[in-house]
């Protein structure tokens, strides 16, 4: 498949998974990566700064209307939903919480599915809520590829289990295998990150 973008979602325990996945992505990994991690409301960018120390991707906590570019990791800021907008920009929203969370994984995944369709890869990591399950179904319905962390390897298995129970997960993988799969999928690069809405 031609991978135009990767979306990741996680909560409790996802940092440990990211510590295995992000350092493995090689220099030149072209598809932009957009991440929603459930953060403490008072996070001041510390989480994004921590990720920046473990990846070759350029880590950005985006502003509203930031243009999505290859080779970047976009981390949703605390207290803001992060969505993909028509034309390949990021939208930030302070709308009501979804699944008791803001940012919410479902909103990122659903908007990304509309933007990239079959060229999107969505990954659900460790977490303690069902956030992301609905969004993963939207990615699958749009023809994208869906991956869940193997719950047996997750610090908090509820989130990947909820995703798997939807029947919309293509692959259930360990974090090491998720990294290998992303490298293989992304090997073709991202020809165009402009959304297709």
Burial track 48-81 (b if 16+ CB lie within 10 A, e otherwise): beebbebbebebbbbeeebebebbbbbbbbbebb
Q: What share of the chain is helix, strand, coil (3-state, %, to 5)?
A: 35, 20, 45
pLDDT digits (tens, 9 = 90+) for 71-89: 999 999 999 999 999 889 9
5-186: CATH number: 3.40.50.180
Contact 124, 147 (CB under 8 A): yes
Q: Which two tokens stand for residue 168?
A: 């919309």
Task: From the candidates 38, 101, 106, 126, give the one annotated as an active-site residue.
Answer: 38
Q: Is 11 a catalytic residue?
A: yes
pLDDT at 44: 87
Would you say how long the chain is, in residues?
197
The catalytic position among 11, 101, 111, 126 is 11
Question: Is the pLDDT at 195 greater than 50, yes or no?
Answer: no
131 catalytic residue (yes or no): yes
Q: Which of 173, 163, 181, 43 is nearest to 106 (CA)?
A: 163
Neighbours of 167 (CB within 10 A): 8
| CB of 146 closer than 8 Å to CB of 139 | yes
Catalytic residue among 106, 126, 131, 156: 131
Average pLDDT over residues 144-169: 97
Q: Where are the beta strands (DSSP E) in 20-169?
A: 33-37, 58-60, 72-75, 81-85, 89-93, 120-124, 145-149
Check residue 188 and give its pLDDT. Answer: 63
Residues 89-147: tens digit of each pLDDT:
999 999 988 888 899 999 999 999 999 999 999 999 999 999 999 999 999 999 999 99
Decide if 64 is catalytic. no
pLDDT the model gives residue 40 = 81
Entry pTM: 0.93
Q: What are the angstrom distances between the C-alpha of 95 and each of 56, 81, 92, 101, 107?
A: 32, 7, 9, 11, 11
Map out the domains of the chain as residue ranges: 5-186
């Amino acid at each position: 498949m031609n991978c135009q973008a990767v979306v990741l979602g996680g909560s409790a325990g996802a940092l440990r998974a990211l510590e295995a996945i992000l350092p493995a992505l090689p220099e030149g990994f072209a598809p932009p990566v957009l991440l929603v991690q459930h953060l403490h409301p008072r996070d001041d960018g510390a989480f994004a700064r921590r990720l920046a120390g473990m990846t070759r991707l350029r880590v950005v906590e985006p502003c509203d209307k930031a243009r999505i570019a290859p080779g970047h990791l976009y981390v949703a800021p605390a207290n803001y939903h992060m969505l993909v907008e028509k034309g390949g920009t990021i939208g930030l929203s302070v709308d009501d919480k979804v699944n008791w969370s803001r940012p919410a994984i479902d909103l990122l995944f659903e908007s990304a599915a509309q933007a990239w369709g079959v060229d999107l890869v969505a990954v659900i990591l460790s977490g303690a809520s069902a956030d992301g399950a609905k969004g993963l179904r939207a990615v699958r319905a749009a023809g994208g590829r869906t991956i869940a962390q193997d719950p047996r390897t997750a610090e908090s298995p509820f989130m990947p289990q909820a995703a798997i129970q939807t029947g919309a997960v293509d692959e259930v993988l360990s974090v090491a295998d998720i990294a290998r799969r992303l490298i293989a999928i992304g090997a073709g690069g991202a020809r165009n990150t402009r959304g297709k809405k």
